[in-house]
Amino acid sequence: MRTDARTLPELVSQLTTDLATLVRKESELVRTEMTEKLHTAGKAAGEIVAGGVFVLAALGVLLAALVAALSEYMHPAFAALIVGVAVAAVGVVLIRAGLKMLKPENLKPDRTARQLQKDAQLVKGK
């Protein structure tokens, strides 16, 4: 049977070093995960802006369709109306996708929380 020849102060020193390393690694994990979440939020904001641009373009097309409908009694207006509705639909889909990505549950650092729970259990000896 092999025994560890290290003294109590050496063991305490090693434990302190290991805990410091653990805390440093956990903070790196938090930083990395928050960077990923901020990237997701930025992407969602981009989709919301893109959706807004499509809705704004749809408004212009729909207004052009209304002008055409009033001036020519329907024929070219139907084409403009179809285009306007399609552009508006794309805009709405983009805005909804962006808003879904911005929900708080999609931005919380869940991997870090799980890792911290595991570390707490490890320290408790479970």
Render pLDDT for 78-117 as a digit per residue (tens, 0 to 9): 777 777 788 789 889 999 998 888 887 777 777 877 887 8
Domain membership of residue 91 as a residue range: 42-113
> How is 52-97 classified by DSSP, letter by letter?
HHHHHHHHHHHHHHHHHHHHHTTHHHHHHHHHHHHHHHHHHHHHHH
Determine, yes or no, domain membership for 102: yes
Determine, yes or no, domain membership for 55: yes
Determine, yes or no, domain membership for 79: yes
Determine the pLDDT at residue 59.
Answer: 84
Determine, yes or no, domain membership for 32: no
Determine, yes or no, domain membership for 9: no
Determine, yes or no, domain membership for 97: yes
Q: How many domains is the chain partitioned into structurally?
A: 1
Determine, yes or no, domain membership for 109: yes
* Least confident span in 2-6, 54-58, 116-120, 121-125: 2-6
